[in-house]
Structures are given as C-alpha cells and as structure tokens.
Amino acid sequence: MSYIFTFFFLISLVCLALGLIRPAIFTKLFKNKPTRKQIGIVFGIMIFVSLVLVGASPAPEGYERQASEIKVEPVLIPEDKVIEPELVELKPEDEKSEETQDETTPVEPNLTSTVPTIDNNSVIEAEAKPEPTIEQNLARDLFQVTEVVDGDTIKISTIGTLRLIGIDTPETRDPRKPVQCFGREASNKAKELLSGKKVYLEYDPANKIDKYGRTLAYVYREDGLFYNAEMIKQGFAHSYVQFPHPRLDEFNIYQREARENNLGFWAANTCNGNTTQAAAGSSSKSITPLPISPEVNKDGFITGSCASLKKLGLGNFREGDPNYTKSRDGDDDGLACEMK
C-alpha cells in the first residue's frame, strides 16, 4: 500500500505545481475556471493526506527481508590481547543481588587492565665477569714473546716493543740510573712468566700508543694468566698511578695486599717498598754522565757510532734521550746502542 500512497502524493504534488502555473487546466474539474487559491487548498489537502497514509502504511516485505539478512561480522581479537574478566568471590548477599540483576539488567564483566608487578625474587643479580677459558684464549689473536726487555717492557711478534699498562718495575737498563733495588729480580720474574710464551693483548682505547711510539697493552698468557696483575700481586711491580687506566683501582688493591703481606720488594729484608735505591752490589751513583767535550753539541748529542759510545760506557739510550736515533736502534725496540 505504501507504493500507492506514494504515487498519490507525487500526482498531487505535480497537479499543485501545474495548477498554480495555469489554473485553466483544471476548468473541467471545478466546472468553471478555478482560482489559484482553490487549487492550492484542494491539492494541499491531497498532499497532506497522502503523506499521512505513507507514514502509517507498513514497510514493504522486501525491505524487512533485506534487513533481516544483514549479518554482523564478529570482531576477532588476538589471544594475546584478550583481557580476562576479574574473578571476584561472591558472598551470600552478593549472590542474591546478582540474581536480582539477572532478572532486570544484564551485568557486564568488569574489565580491568592488569598492572604488571615486579617479583623481587626474579631479579638477577650482576655476576662477576668470569676469567676466559683456555679455549676462548686460543680463539684470540696470539703473539709470540720474542724478548723480555725488563719487568714492564717486552717484545712480541708482528708488533715489536710493548709497554705494559699500569705497572712500573725497578729499572735495570736506564743509562742514567743505577740498577734499582729488586730490578734484577723483577726482570728474572718477567722472563720466568713470559719468555717463549704466547700471549694475547687487551688495550685501553684511550691510550694505545705512548709518547715513545710503543704499543700499550694488558698482557695475558695463553693459559689465561694476567701478567700485569700478577707482577703487582707478587710484589715485583708497583701500580703505575701516574697515568690513569681502566684497571687502576683494581691494581691499587693488589698493591695494598702485596704490601700488607710483605711480598717481593715490600719485604723489610729486600727493599721495604723503596725501589729507587740502588740494588746491592750496584754503585749508588749514576752511570758515567755524558762527557763535556767539543764532540757534544748544545743538545747533548754525542756523535759517533754505538761501538765508540760503548767504549765510553754509554749506551741503552731510550726514546726521548738526546742520543737516541733510529739509526742507532737497529732492531727498533726503543733502545739505542744496547749494552748487556
């Protein structure tokens, strides 16, 4: 029926428009020429009635069937995003109230966001870094120790002269100083620990080369022995505090323990910690000073070959000494005119 009323509404609307434009068209309908007012009243009533009838008529069957066929697709939520409703234990009075609610209005589950809690027992404490195993050491780049110069200086394959980071041993080869207390013992200990051994190196990224061009490194033996630390622990080397490095605090602890236990040069019957004194059997005076002669220029450099200098008792010039030159350092170990 709604279609009929709708058609009736459209006809009335068209007739109203035509009658207002040319009233003479509807002369036969009104038996005489109608006025626009008459046409407006008649067709206005017809339009009103048709609108009321269209609104009161039932919807078409096809429309109801189409509406019933509309499907609502469920929204799939990933399992890891599903929030479980909070489970609350109900007391007897709560059960009654729940029954009342079921009869009246549906009760929606209380969805609350879960707040993660920290279990103190699950916190993993920081563990001390384990010493590398022999297998790990073998996987590193190994270098052959070719010579032990003294307690804190060695030579290794492919690199050359290496200065040990963080340790200072008594001097034995400085031409400006006598052999210092416990110097020979420190050199012998170094030879015992490193001669003919393979080692791997650990560097301080901030300081890899010293002012003499020598490589700076911590030295580990192939079996994992940390040479720098071992020399301090046994009282053969001081912790070198003049130049900060990553293991300075660690080395200071080793030195304090060695001193408290009177090890090495800390013992009262050796040096009592004072390694600047001359070793037993060594002159307390410095090695023969550079002679003042016309051969010496204003910078203190003595001309001549290493052989002529050794006859004067001069040699073992380290880098930085006026008499050190690359030509006199044939093996490029940082020591010119070497004397045994």
Other Cβ atoms less than 10 A from the Cβ of 131: the count is 11
Average pLDDT on 24-32 reads: 71
| pLDDT beyond 60 at 97 | no
- Higher pLDDT pick, 92 / 227: 227
Show Cβ contacts of residue 59 under 8 Å, excluding neighbours closer than 6 positions: 2
Confidence of residue 14 (pLDDT cuts 50, 70, 90): confident
The vertex-217 CA angle with 213 and 219, nearest 5°, equals 135
Average pLDDT on 114-140 reads: 48
Q: Which residues are catalytic?
A: 163, 171, 214
| Average pLDDT in the chain | 76
Confidence of residue 10 (pLDDT cuts 50, 70, 90): confident
pTM confidence score: 0.47
Distance CA 190, CA 168 (A): 12
- Higher pLDDT pick, 301 / 208: 208
Other Cβ atoms less than 10 A from the Cβ of 300: the count is 11
| pLDDT beyond 70 at 338 | yes
Confidence of residue 266 (pLDDT cuts 50, 70, 90): very high
Look up residue 236 and give its two tokens: 């053969």
Confidence of residue 287 (pLDDT cuts 50, 70, 90): very low
The alpha carbon torsion through 173, 176, 180, 184 (nearest 10 deg) reads 10
Please tell me which of 14-28, 124-138, 228-242 the model is most confident about, judged by mean pLDDT: 228-242
Q: CA gyration radius for the chain?
A: 52
pLDDT tens across 131-188, in order? 555 555 445 799 999 999 999 999 999 999 999 999 999 998 877 778 899 999 999 9
pLDDT tens across 50-64, in order? 778 777 776 655 555
